Structure 1
Amino acid sequence: MKYLIKNARMVNEGIVKTTDVLINNERIEKIATDITDSSAAVIDANGHYLIPGVIDDQVHFREPGLTHKGNIASESRAAVAGGITTFMEQPNTNPQTTTIEKLEGKFSIAKASSYANYSFFFGGTNDNLEELKRLDKTSCAGVKLFLGSSTGNMLVDNEQVIETIFSNTDMVIAAHCEDEGTIRRNLALYKEKFGDDIPIKYHPIIRSEEACYLSSSKAIALAEKTGARLHVFHVSTEKETNLFRNDIPLAEKKITAEVCLHHLWFTDADYDTKGTFIKWNPAVKTQKDKDGLWKALLDDRVDIIATDHAPHTLEEKKQVYTSAPSGGPLVQHALVAWMEAVNNGKLPIEKMVQKMCHNPAILFDIKERGYIREGYYADLVLIDPKAPWTVSTDNIEYACKWSPFEGTEFSSAVTHTFVNGHLAYENGTISETKNAKRLTFNR
């Protein structure tokens, strides 16, 4: 079908301008002022922002094996409702994505059920190096290493294995960096004092700045030694931001970083009211860390904005500290949350689009996505910057039916989301027609 978007405030490649965009089948056919096409369905954007579809490089959609929390269908529905048209999912499912066979199994699930474009990370372990060597670099998003204890037996803690992995792939290696030994020592101290019901306020002390910095700095040193292409997920401390560069373009960087919404929205002061509902790994930390992360995002030491969307059931999150899992659902609300920073002048909208759309496409060499360009896939999002609404259980799309933002009023709303030219979401309604594709890469 053809769609003609009229009078949009297009945000693309550092520029905001009013224009029309013609969508023909899966592609952007034309970008110009005063386009006419009698065969196209017209959407009058009325000055709303038009941005490329958001690319989220870090989600946990829980399928296979953990589908009581969510699945690829439910969470990708929530994603398109939030303007995220492309996701890259993590390997700590059940079974874990640590063989090529398991990787292709997840692609098969997504092909049948996903509402958003998709790719998956291959999980590195202490003993699957030979399988990793067989991996086609065009077949998936990259390699994921868990260098912290978030994920049980996916922890990679053999330093020789880590160095060998770094030396044997030219794919992006995405790393969760927290030092296991530091965390175990801290946890033992607080368990001795409180048992299993440790007050949540100690979470950022157990999973401390020291644990994050020690792991991140070691991974970066190893990447520099081996020449590996390293991307550090969910940086959470001001100290870590000083490990990254902003004096060269992203396309020339070998070591990159991302920040997640929760580390720039919440602080340790919020544990008193939010409790385990804002328990993440790495932990939400201090106001000083939050301020430092904002500074690094704005000055380009941090390259990408992501969610680390990781749903759990309410029953799971309400357990005592040592039993309550870390993570929370975010894909539906991330873009509108960042729009709060745009509307209050803290984040230029051009910078937001750079970090959420352009830079993931650059970093992962994604083909024909991440920009509004003629000939590119029509992954597009319209945002009304003056459409206040409040998050409630009635409008949450996640399978888990809760959000750390419940009760929050956002001033902006996603009104339309296109996935490969298909109108996947319109003013609160999600189309049941799926038009998602497996990502392809320019590698």
Structure 2
Amino acid sequence: MKSILIKNGTIVNEGSVFKSDILIENGRISKISDNIDSIADCEVFDATNKVILPGVIDDQVHFREPGLTHKGNINSESRAAIAGGTTSFIEQPNTVPNAVTQEILEEKYSIASQTSHANYSFMMGGTNDNLEEVLKTNPRNVAGIKLFLGSSTGNMLVDNQDVLEKIFSSTKMLIAVHCEDEQTIRENLEKAKEQFGDDIPVTQHPVIRSAEACYKSSSKAIELAKKTGARLHVFHLSTGIETDLFRNDIPLEEKMITAEVCVHHLTFSDEDYLTKGNFIKWNPAVKSASDREKIWEALLDDRIDVIATDHAPHTIEEKSKKYSEAPSGGPLVQHSLVAMLEFVKEGKISIEKVVEKMAHNPAKLFKIEERGFIKEGYFADLAIVDLNDPWEVTKENVVAKCGWSPFEGKTFSSKVDSTIVNGNFAMKNGVISDGKFGQRLLFNR
């Protein structure tokens, strides 16, 4: 493996912004200092006028393999991740078949070991009847347990309260949850059908998948976590009312209950359904501008710990169907970092805070071994970004297999120039390498 010396860059790490060189040897950061001299067989990369960030760790993606590979696969979507400066991802179990046995889970790891451009981990899925399999999960090399407490693909809706309590009380692993109350959604859907018949407008999506449905489910999950002492992580908060369920008066490392927000819930509001339609149809739904602002407040005051994407590609054909038939989800992993850096430019958030929420905190929260920071001895996972290189998102430059983005037509001020994974240029000067440099994430627990 060739050594890399990054010269003249501006590092953003652990709340500090400073100019320094970085020497990478044997896949790790060996030295951070001013004016490092080149060594033998070393590639020198000039990062003048660029910022060097820890590679993004996306704790929630759906890369669609196995079983749904017409939408995307681990190879294609990890390339999109690399294009956006994301060097590690945690993928969810609602593929086909669902990853609800240890055998199926390990098959996904096997695929990734041969095809992933980025570092990877996969969640073990819980159901109403697979507790024995769940409890076999190895905390050292699996990110956590994923429970769908609302509609999901396949047989993954966990709605048996006794089973939930058993899972919560039986494992010390992190339990990540999708919180939407199924009964509330069904009732709201029936009301919409009575009003609109078979042609429900997409503007009804946040009415059907309401704030009430989210709060009812997440508050129950948190109550159960407190009762059982479970380590709970609530995915993709979408409502203002839910933010009051979380704490900011203790350090992240001491929290037993944590929260994540996704880029789309920080970006869009229900007003955007009129122009973007099903292309911003997600579960949970994008809701009001008021909800969005309250989520921002909670992100900035540390009630919300992590920014992720819930990257979940569907084909244009699928998303172009009428509301009741169009699937929920969209591709975001390529544009998550530049979208957040746009908010930095607008003064909404600092670049240090973006790095904290997208790299440092996922590493802390999941206890990922030696990643998420720019530190000597840590794996060299880096995103090198030009903060002043505007570009427009078009179908032609979308890397995800589905070939579209909810950000099409948007001009971002920043561009990810290069991405380093385990000391290798996975992307250099905007060109993605054919090399597969991703490794399986390990966890200190």
1:73 to 72, 75, 85: 75
Are positions 1:420 and 2:405 aligned together? no
Matched with 2:92 is 90
Matched with 2:49 is 47
Residue 133 of structure 1: CA displacement? 1.5
- Secondary structure of 2:36's counterpart equals coil
Superimposed CA distance per residue, residues 357-380 of structure 1 (whole angstroms, 9 cap, x where no aligned partner): 000000101000000001110001
- Secondary structure of 1:382's counterpart equals strand
Distance in 2, matches of 1:236 and 1:107, equals: 30
Distance in 1, matches of 2:362 and 2:419, equals: 18
1:104 to 92, 102, 106: 106
Matched with 1:25 is 26
- Secondary structure of 1:151's counterpart equals coil
Residue 38 of structure 1: CA displacement? 3.9
Are positions 1:318 and 2:311 aligned together? no
1:375 to 374, 377, 380: 377
- Secondary structure of 1:414's counterpart equals strand
- Preserved contact between residue 94 and residue 152 of structure 2 (Cα < 8 Å): no
**Aligned residue identity for 1:311:** P
Give unmatched runs, 5+ long, in structure 2: none
Matched with 1:8 is 9
- Preserved contact between residue 416 and residue 425 of structure 1 (Cα < 8 Å): yes
Residue 152 of structure 1: CA displacement? 4.6
Superimposed CA distance per residue, residues 165-220 of structure 1 (whole angstroms, 9 cap, x where no aligned partner): 00011000000000000000000111122223210001000000000000000000
129-138 or 211-220, larger mean C-alpha shift = 129-138
Distance in 2, matches of 1:382 and 1:304, equals: 21
Matched with 1:134 is 136
- Preserved contact between residue 93 and residue 125 of structure 2 (Cα < 8 Å): yes
348-357 or 193-202, larger mean C-alpha shift = 193-202
Superimposed CA distance per residue, residues 241-269 of structure 1 (whole angstroms, 9 cap, x where no aligned partner): 00000000000000000000000100000
- Preserved contact between residue 150 and residue 281 of structure 1 (Cα < 8 Å): no
Distance in 1, matches of 2:411 and 2:26, equals: 35
- Preserved contact between residue 56 and residue 306 of structure 1 (Cα < 8 Å): yes
Residue 143 of structure 1: CA displacement? 0.1
1:161-240 paired onto structure 2 within 5 Å: 161-240=163-242
Distance in 1, matches of 2:111 and 2:380, equals: 23
- Preserved contact between residue 172 and residue 364 of structure 1 (Cα < 8 Å): yes
- Secondary structure of 1:415's counterpart equals strand
**Aligned residue identity for 2:327:** P
- Preserved contact between residue 78 and residue 398 of structure 1 (Cα < 8 Å): yes
Size of the aligned set, in residue pairs, is 443
- Preserved contact between residue 203 and residue 270 of structure 2 (Cα < 8 Å): yes
Identity of aligned residues (%): 64
- Preserved contact between residue 234 and residue 258 of structure 1 (Cα < 8 Å): yes
Distance in 1, matches of 2:298 and 2:92, equals: 25
**Aligned residue identity for 2:33:** A
Give unmatched runs, 5+ long, in structure 1: none
Matched with 2:153 is 151
Residue 435 of structure 1: CA displacement? 1.2
1:337 to 339, 345, 349: 339
| Superposition RMSD in Å | 0.8
- Preserved contact between residue 196 and residue 320 of structure 1 (Cα < 8 Å): no
- Secondary structure of 1:93's counterpart equals coil
Distance in 2, matches of 1:36 and 1:345, equals: 37
**Aligned residue identity for 1:86:** S
